[in-house]
Amino acid sequence: MAPPPLVALVCCLLAVAATLAAADDPYRFFTWSVTYGPINPLGSTQQQGILINGQFPGPRIDCVTNDNIIVNVINNLDEPFLLTWNGIKQRKNSWQDGVLGTNCPIPAGANYTYKFQAKDQIGTFTYFPSVALHRAAGGFGAFNVYQRPAIPVPYAPPAGDFTLLVGDWYRAGHKQLRQTLDAGGALPPPDALLINGMPSAATFVGDQGKTYLFRVSNVGVKTSVNVRIQGHSLRLVEVEGTHPVQNVYDSLDVHVGQSVAFLVTLDKPAQDYAVVASARFIPAMVAAPLTAMGTLHYSSAVSRAPGPLPAPPPEGAEWSMNQARSFRWNLTASAARPNPQGSFHYGTIPTSRTLVLANSAPLLAGQRRYAVNGVSFVVPDTPLKLVDNYNIANVIGWDSVPARPDGSAPRSGTPVVRLNLHEFIEVVFQNTENELQSWHLDGYDFWVVGYGNGQWTESQRTTYNLVDAQARHTVQVYPNGWSAILVSLDNQGMWNLRSANWDRQYLGQQLYMRVWTPQQSFSNEYSIPTNAILCGRAAGLGH
C-alpha cells in the first residue's frame, strides 16, 4: 500500500536532508603512527625526531569547511603523547582539544581517535604535540581548511598554494631540553631556523605571470620570525582564518603560534628568488641572526636572480607594532559563512568583565618558573575537563588567579577562571619583561583592539580599534608593553589560555577558562566521547 501523501512528502524531505547533510559534511579519515626516527635538518648532525607516518614535518591535512575529521593516532613513542589542533575551534567540543587540561595523554603503545569538525572555519592552521617538549622534536604539520564553493574568498583563485612551516630548531633533543627546564635553567638560543624541516632546501615552483598563495605558520618553540621574498611583494589575504584588508608588505613578522597567508604574483624575470625567514627579537648574546632560506623557482628559470638578499626590517618593537596595527579586518568579506565579517559589530557590545594578565618569571622553591598574575600553573594528574565532568574535588583552583596583578607572593596552582556562556570580555596581556610574549586561546578567535608600550591603564581604551580590529587566535605582546583583546564567549567548554612560547607554557605560564551554562544541551556542548581515555582520579569511573 502506498503511504499517504503527507507521509510520503515528509519521508522525501528527510531523505533529501540526509543526502544534503552527507554532501555538505563529508568525513575524512586518517591513521597516523607516531614514532621516533632519524632526521637530519641541520645537515651534519643526525637527530632523533618525532615522525608521523615516517614524515617530518607530519602529513598535511587538507579539508573543506565543516568536514568531519577522524584521526586515529597510534603512539609508538616511549612516553605519553597528545596532538593539539592549533586554531581549530572545536565548536562545543573541547573534549578533542588535545591539551593536558582536557585530555589524558595517549599512553605509549596505545591509540586514541580524535573526532571533530572544522566547523565554520577556513584558513591556515597547524597541529603539534602538546605534551612536554615534544614540539621541539617534530610531530607538527599543516592543517588547511578550504572554503565551500558557494562562499568565495575575496580574491581570485590562485594558481596554487604553498605551505611554509617556519620555526626555530635545537640540536639538543626534546628530553635534554626538558631536563634543562626541570633543573631550573633557561633554554639556550636555538641553533637554526627551518622552513618545512630544512634550513635551505625548500623550493616553491610556479609559472611566470601567475599568482600563488603562500601559507606561513610559525611552528617553533619560542622564536618570532620575519618572512620575505626577494624582489616580490606580499599581499596579505588571511590571518588565522579571517580575511584582512589586503595591504601589501615587503615582509611580515609571524610570531610563535601564528599563521598568515599572502598572495605573490610571479611578475619578475624568470629566475630563482630567495625566500628568506630570519629570527626576530632574539637575545643580544646571539652573535648573528638565524636565517633559513628557500627558493621561489620560476618554472622556466635557468639562473639565480642577481643582487643582494632582502634585508630584514629594523630591530626593536616599534616597526613590528606598527605593522601589527596595520592589520585590519575586511568588514565586507565573508569568511566560512556567507554573511560579511563586519556584520558582527564587536565594538558596540559592552564587556561584562576585564582580565589583566601579567606574565612573570618568579623563582619557586629555588627554581625558575613562569606565572600569570603570580600563579604558576601545575598540570594535575587528572585533566580539568574530566575533573569538572565527574565533580572531582580538590584539584581545580577555581578563580584562583586574581583578575589583575595584586602584588601577592608568587605561588603554584591549578587555576581555572569561571566564565558564563555568551559573556563578552576584555583581556589585557601585560608584559613587564624584555622578552616578546605570544599568547594563544583555544576554542576562539578574538579581536586585537590595541597594542601599546608601558603599563596598561583604563585610559588606553580610548585608543582601541572598535571598528575593524583584526581577528585572530594568537597575539604577540611586545617587550615591556601590552596587547588588548575582546572575546565573545560563544563556545562552551574548558579552554586553555597559554603562552605560545613553549618553554614558558611548560613552566607554568598558562591557565584555563571554563565557559559554562547550567542549561545542559547538545546545542551548547557535546557529551564526553565514548572513547575518552580516563586517567588519574578519573580512572575507572566509566563514561
Q: 168-206 pLDDT, tens per residue?
A: 999 999 999 999 999 999 999 999 999 999 999 899 999
DSSP tag of 539: T
Cell 586585537 sits on residue: 448
Query: Given this model, what pLDDT does residue 346 score?
Result: 98
Q: Which three cell numbers stand for residue 101?
A: 587540561
The single-letter code of the amino acid at 342 is G
> Does residue 5 carry a pLDDT above 90?
no
Choose among 514, 501, 434: nearest CA to 474. Answer: 501
Query: Given this model, what pLDDT does residue 284 score?
Result: 58
C-alpha 84/C-alpha 63 separation (Å) is 17
Query: Given this model, what pLDDT does residue 18 score?
Result: 35
C-alpha 118/C-alpha 138 separation (Å) is 23
Exposed (0-12), middle (13-18) or buried (19+): which is 93, by Cβ within 10 Å? Answer: buried
Q: What is the mean pLDDT of residues 353-364?
A: 97
**377, 414 contact by CB (below 8 A):** yes
Exposed (0-12), middle (13-18) or buried (19+): which is 29, by Cβ within 10 Å? Answer: exposed
Choose among 208, 379, 180, 424: nearest CA to 299. Answer: 208
Give per-residue pLDDT as tens, 145-161. 999 988 989 999 999 99
Lowest mean pLDDT, pick from 41-50, 120-129, 236-245, 429-438: 41-50
Please tell me the class of the 152-306+316-328 domain: mainly beta
> Does residue 62 carry a pLDDT above 60?
yes
Domains 24-151 and 152-306+316-328 share a fold: yes
Confidence tier at 337 by pLDDT (50, 70, 90)? confident
Query: Given this model, what pLDDT does residue 286 score?
Result: 57
Q: What is the mean pLDDT of residues 420-437?
A: 97
* Percent of the chain at pLDDT exceeding 90: 90
Confidence tier at 282 by pLDDT (50, 70, 90)? confident
**424, 487 contact by CB (below 8 A):** yes
Choose among 389, 433, 474, 470: nearest CA to 125. Answer: 474
Query: Given this model, what pLDDT does residue 16 score?
Result: 33
**246, 233 contact by CB (below 8 A):** no
Query: Given this model, what pLDDT does residue 13 score?
Result: 34
Q: Which three cell numbers stand for residue 38?
A: 632519524
Q: What is the mean pLDDT of residues 367-372?
A: 96
CATH fold label, 24-151? Immunoglobulin-like (2.60.40)
Tell whether pTM > 0.75: yes
Query: Given this model, what pLDDT does residue 24 score?
Result: 59
Query: Which parts of 68-160 are beta strand (E)?
Result: 68-75, 83-86, 111-117, 123-129, 141-146
Backbone angles phi, psi at 196, to 5 degrees: 55, 40
Query: Given this model, what pLDDT does residue 289 score?
Result: 80
C-alpha 42/C-alpha 173 separation (Å) is 13
**510, 73 contact by CB (below 8 A):** no
DSSP H helix total and E strand total for the chain: 5, 35
Q: Where are the domains of the chain?
A: 24-151, 152-306+316-328, 346-532
Give per-residue pLDDT as tens, 481-506. 999 999 999 999 999 999 999 999 99
Confidence tier at 335 by pLDDT (50, 70, 90)? confident
Cell 618568579 sits on residue: 362
Query: Given this model, what pLDDT does residue 10 score?
Result: 35
N residues, the chain: 543
> Does residue 526 carry a pLDDT above 70?
yes
Confidence tier at 7 by pLDDT (50, 70, 90)? very low
Confidence tier at 102 by pLDDT (50, 70, 90)? very high
> Does residue 420 carry a pLDDT above 60?
yes
Mean pLDDT of the chain: 94
Query: Given this model, what pLDDT does residue 287 score?
Result: 58
C-alpha 310/C-alpha 292 separation (Å) is 13
**135, 190 contact by CB (below 8 A):** no
Lowest mean pLDDT, pick from 23-32, 137-146, 530-539: 23-32
Query: Given this model, what pLDDT does residue 358 score?
Result: 98
Choose among 415, 422, 423: nearest CA to 387. Answer: 415
Pick the CATH number of 346-532 from 3.90.870.30, 3.30.365.10, 3.40.50.620, 2.60.40.420: 2.60.40.420
More confident of the two residues 25 and 322: 322
Cis amide linkage into residue 57, ω under 30° from 0: yes
Give per-residue pLDDT as tens, 382-403. 999 999 999 999 999 999 999 9
